[in-house]
């Protein structure tokens, strides 16, 4: 017996609006039409899901607290955009106790990296471009959809939060990227990318997995 299932990051709560689990705060951050901050919006959403930000949609308006500190760090990249390596360095500088892992290369290799990291419970920022175009865009992978056969899960789609699309309502995501023939051992050169506004063929060129760092040890109190 087989059936289609979605496996989402554990920090997400699905309802009328996509929110952070155990907290009634939004998980989505919308990218404006003229900025180049897609990687930064993805990082803000990841920060909210990992308990570092209280509202990823209002970082630029806060004057104090973690949102203000985040905005001060990412603001220099807001109009020009941040590369994957720059994004990884930003994650380290934020001191959120997170470990960024960058993977770049052929589309199929990047997809395999995303599946592996998502299977281990990590959020992944994915960079892609439309076939025959050179402009790159970044989205946040939050889970996978696939076929469940007994105890075996075969993913066929990455579930995304695309900051340039509308906030997902009554849904787990606002974009979907096909995995091609990875489960069958084939190495696809591109993927089918679907949102509510368009469908296109895209090529992923890199990704950043956001792993949780080792828990900080608490200093033991000295005996009296």
* Residue pLDDT, tens place only, 87-109: 999 999 999 999 999 999 999 99
Tokens of 120: 């281990």
Question: pLDDT value at position 204?
Answer: 97
Domain 2-212 in CATH 3.40.50.2000: no
Containing 117, the helix (H) or strand (E) segment is: helix 107-119
pLDDT of residue 183 exceeding 90: no
**Long-range contacts (CB closer than 8 Å, 24 or more residues apart) made by 150-158:** 150/1, 153/5, 153/7, 154/183, 155/7, 155/115, 155/179, 155/182, 155/183, 156/183, 158/111, 158/114, 158/115, 158/118, 158/126
Specify the pLDDT at position 215: 58
Which residue shows structure tokens 């603001």?
75
d(CA 199, CA 194): 4
Averaged pLDDT, 191-197 = 96
Indicate the pTM of the whole model.
Answer: 0.90
Domain limits of the chain? 2-212
Nearest to 88 by CA among 144, 189, 80, 96: 96
Distance CA 209, CA 64 (A): 28
Rounded to the nearest integer, the mean pLDDT of the chain is 90
Is residue 154 pLDDT above 90, yes or no? Answer: yes
């Amino acid at each position: 017996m087989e059936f289609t299932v979605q496996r989402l990051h554990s920090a997400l709560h699905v309802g009328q609006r996509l929110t952070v689990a155990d907290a009634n705060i939004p998980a989505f951050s919308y990218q404006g039409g003229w900025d180049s901050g897609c990687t930064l919006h993805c990082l803000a959403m990841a920060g909210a899901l990992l308990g570092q930000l209280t509202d990823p949609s209002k970082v630029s308006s806060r004057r104090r607290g973690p949102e203000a500190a985040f905005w001060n760090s990412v603001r220099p990249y807001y109009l020009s955009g941040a590369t994957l390596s720059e994004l990884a360095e930003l994650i380290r500088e934020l001191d959120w106790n997170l470990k960024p892992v960058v993977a770049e290369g052929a589309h199929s290799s990047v997809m395999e990296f995303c599946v592996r990291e998502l299977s281990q419970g990590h959020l992944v920022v994915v960079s892609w471009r439309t076939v025959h175009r050179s402009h790159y865009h970044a989205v946040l992978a939050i889970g996978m959809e696939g076929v469940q056969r007994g105890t075996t899960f075969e993913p066929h789609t990455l579930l995304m939060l695309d900051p340039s699309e509308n906030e997902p309502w009554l849904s787990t995501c606002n974009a979907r990227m096909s995995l091609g023939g990875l489960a069958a051992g084939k190495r696809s050169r591109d993927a089918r990318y679907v949102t509510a506004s368009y469908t296109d063929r895209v090529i992923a060129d890199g990704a950043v997995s956001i792993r949780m760092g080792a828990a900080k040890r608490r200093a033991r109190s000295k005996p009296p």
